[in-house]
Structure 1
Amino acid sequence: MDRAGLDRAYSNGAFIPGADGFPPRWLAQAAAFRDSLGARARLDLAYGPGARQRLDLFLPDAPPRGVLVFVHGGYWMAFGRETWSHLAAGALARGWACAMPSYTLAPDARISEMTAEVARACAMAADLVAGPVVVTGHSAGGHLAARMGCADQAVPRLARVVPISPLAELAPLAGTTMNEKLRLDGRECAAESPARLARAAGVAAHVWVGAQERPAFLWQARVLSEAWGCGWTVDPGRHHFDVVDGLADPASALTGACLDGLG
């Protein structure tokens, strides 16, 4: 497939009605959620020296059962933790804490450096909250969540990873226009593609993807589930921008995939 074809394959907003309206709604929902928590929202905690090496920690009413780490997407080039705070609601209602890190974006960092940053953020979350650690994330954040579950990582007390619409095989991205900023090469694709890496012993995994997503994302999700021998869910009616909504609902199947049987 040529560059134009790959760009189209990995374009999401162009195929979602009203796509431009999603980011401002997310920001408004996230800000309202943070405001509602008061002191239970611990914001802008540094896990490293970089300007974007910060996380927000949201706490339930009682001592937490564990911590869910959510890693945001944006093709490794956009967004930050502030856009997604409301997605912590499902975990908090079930008695879990939720940590949301930002990380340095391309072109200021390569994907391998982002992996290392998210690993440090997860380690800090484990230091702050006792109990099991679960890592989930969406799109590029799904890639980074999956990387936390690989055998070359060592997130403390990691029990489960739930990559949502993950980019699990990076080779196609190297052929897109985005790679002018991502700078993926063959070596980094091999080292940073979760579908080419072993899952860590003792870490459970479940892959989640929307049924109405671009075919490339359905392929990416299936490739990871097959490589890791884990389950995957194709969420009916969900596209790339609303597939994460279930995280705000403690009774949703997505929240259950993250937390059921733990803590």
Structure 2
Amino acid sequence: MTPLIAARIADWDDAYANIIHIPGGAAFPDQWLAEAASFRATRPPEALGMGELYRPQGTPRGLAVIIHGGYWMKFGPQWFSHLAAGPLARGWAVLLPRYTLAPEGRLAQMRAEIAAQIEAAAAGIPGPVVLGGHSAGGHLAARLACEDTPLSPATVARLRRCVPVSGLFDLRPLQRTTYREPLGLDDETAAQESPLFHHPLPGIDLHLWVGADERPVFLQQTRLLFETWAGIPHETRLTVEPGRHHMDVIAGLAEADHPLCEALAGAS
């Protein structure tokens, strides 16, 4: 039998870098910002705490939450407003929460801030709640779907599914990167804030999503959580989307008929 061999990672910062390994990668943040501004010009959001809330015409089917990425240190809802378009077209209200970025904010604080915005939105929007997020936002979405979630029991009872997109679920490798200091990743924090080391809420569906052209560590992180959590949530799925990399894997959320939008905002 041929043994499996894993290549040694010599540069952990490079292993977790995305933009420099994607042709035209540096242009994506400006592209997101322009698309988001164009969307807001036609569908101005309601301010909800620190975040943006979009309501569909008529009674919402429920509340869809999309948590932005940026390695917990960059961006905000105003870069990703256009991603609300897909769930909105399906009849969902959409919350894009904002959280205090590192190094001022800490990971537990970010979770608490997002949870507070979800609670405020859910208080005025009936129906199920679904969680999604990209990259660092995928981590935060998964962490909110753990048994020690800061969400209230009433909101947990309404939570139907969690869809982390290209998330980071074991934070211990990031202790080998320059992210360690701004994120405060000592051993205790890395373990406490890694979804991998927590039990997921058993009553929800989990659908992990990642691009086939992602950096190997992101594929590894997603498969690791899938294999660890499989069988605990009500249903656990993994989609590796062909032809997608870390910066365009979220584009499907803006399209009502895209499978990623279906995964998040499909039948409740």
TM over 0.5: yes
Residue matched to 2:60: 64
- RMSD of Structure 2 on Structure 1 (CA): 1.4
Amino acid at match of 1:214: R
Counterpart secondary structure, 1:142: helix
- Asked if structure 1 preserves the Cα contact closer than 8 Å seen for 2:180 and 2:186, the reply is no
Question: CA offset at residue 177 of structure 1?
Answer: 0.8
Question: CA offset at residue 124 of structure 1?
Answer: 1.7
- Asked if structure 2 preserves the Cα contact closer than 8 Å seen for 1:3 and 1:175, the reply is no
Higher mean displacement: 211-220 or 23-32: 23-32
Of 25, 30, 37, the match for 1:19: 25
Residue matched to 2:105: 109
1:138-163 per-residue CA deviation (whole Å, 9 max, x = no partner) reads 00000000011101113502111100
Question: CA offset at residue 125 of structure 1?
Answer: 2.0
Residue matched to 1:240: 246
Task: Tell me, in whole angstroms, the C-alpha distance in 1 between the residues paired with 2:185 and 2:9.
Answer: 14
State the identity %. 49
Residue-pair matches, total: 252
- Asked if structure 1 preserves the Cα contact closer than 8 Å seen for 2:20 and 2:26, the reply is no
Structure 1, unaligned stretches of length 5 or more?
47-53
Alignment of 1:36-75 (within 5 A): 36-38=42-44, 41-43=45-47, 45-46=48-49, 54-75=50-71
**Off by >3 Å, runs of 4+ in structure 1:** 1-4
Counterpart secondary structure, 2:75: coil
Structure 2, unaligned stretches of length 5 or more?
1-6, 231-235
Counterpart secondary structure, 2:43: helix
Task: Tell me, in whole angstroms, the C-alpha distance in 2 between the residues paired with 1:55 and 1:192.
Answer: 22
Residue matched to 1:32: 38
Residue matched to 1:88: 84
Question: CA offset at residue 3 of structure 1?
Answer: 8.6
- Asked if structure 2 preserves the Cα contact closer than 8 Å seen for 1:138 and 1:164, the reply is yes
CA shift in 2, pair 1:2/1:173, >3 Å: farther
TM-score (norm 1): 0.92
Task: Tell me, in whole angstroms, the C-alpha distance in 2 between the residues paired with 1:183 and 1:143.
Answer: 16
Alignment of 1:114-133 (within 5 A): 114-133=110-129
Task: Tell me, in whole angstroms, the C-alpha distance in 1 between the residues paired with 2:244 and 2:261.
Answer: 15
Amino acid at match of 1:75: Y
Residue matched to 1:49: none
Amino acid at match of 2:112: A
Task: Tell me, in whole angstroms, the C-alpha distance in 2 between the residues paired with 1:128 and 1:213.
Answer: 38
Residue matched to 1:173: 174
Task: Tell me, in whole angstroms, the C-alpha distance in 2 between the residues paired with 1:3 and 1:104.
Answer: 31
Are positions 1:228 and 2:226 aligned together?
no
TM-score (norm 2): 0.91
Task: Tell me, in whole angstroms, the C-alpha distance in 1 between the residues paired with 2:123 and 2:28.
Answer: 34
